[in-house]
Amino acid sequence: MIKKAITSDKAPRAIGPYSQGIRIKGLLLLSGQIPVDPATGDVVSGDVGAQTRRVLTNLKTILEEAGGGINDIVKTTVFLKDLGAFNEMNATYEEFFAPPYPARATVGVNALPKGVGVEIDAIAVVSE
């Protein structure tokens, strides 16, 4: 079993001892992304919808680096600082995916890195 790290310069660099993604046996496991603009290293301004858009764009670029695309995602976990922003996150999330939608869990949390409102991780199936 060979695992390979996937890294994209078009997504924020890992800020700790983890990989942006790991490919193993046709699976791509994507680390949680927060709404950081990779060009500036800054958290994007705006509401949870704008933050969700940046997060999903970051995930998409890592997938593309691995030869996949956003519709290869089969499972996501969404971490929201405020579950009251669920509808806002969900509306933006829906812009990125087509049926059949990925399986998903949404979890309310007390805090996220850099004080952001949303973080999303994902699992995708991609050809080797």
Phi, psi at residue 27, to the nearest 5°?
A: -100, 145
Question: pLDDT per residue over 72-120, tens digit each?
Answer: 999 999 999 999 999 999 999 999 999 999 999 999 999 999 999 999 9
Least confident of 10-24, 31-45, 66-80, 102-116: 10-24
* Cβ neighbours for 53, distance < 8 A, ≥ 6 positions apart: 35, 92, 95
Q: Are 4 and 29 in contact (CB under 8 A)?
A: no
Owner of token pair 């699992």:
123
* Residue 1 binned pLDDT confidence (cut-offs 50, 70, 90): low
Amino acid at 36: V
pTM of the model: 0.94
d(CA 21, CA 14): 10
d(CA 107, CA 68): 26
Domains identified in the chain and CATH numbers = 4-125 (3.30.1330.40)
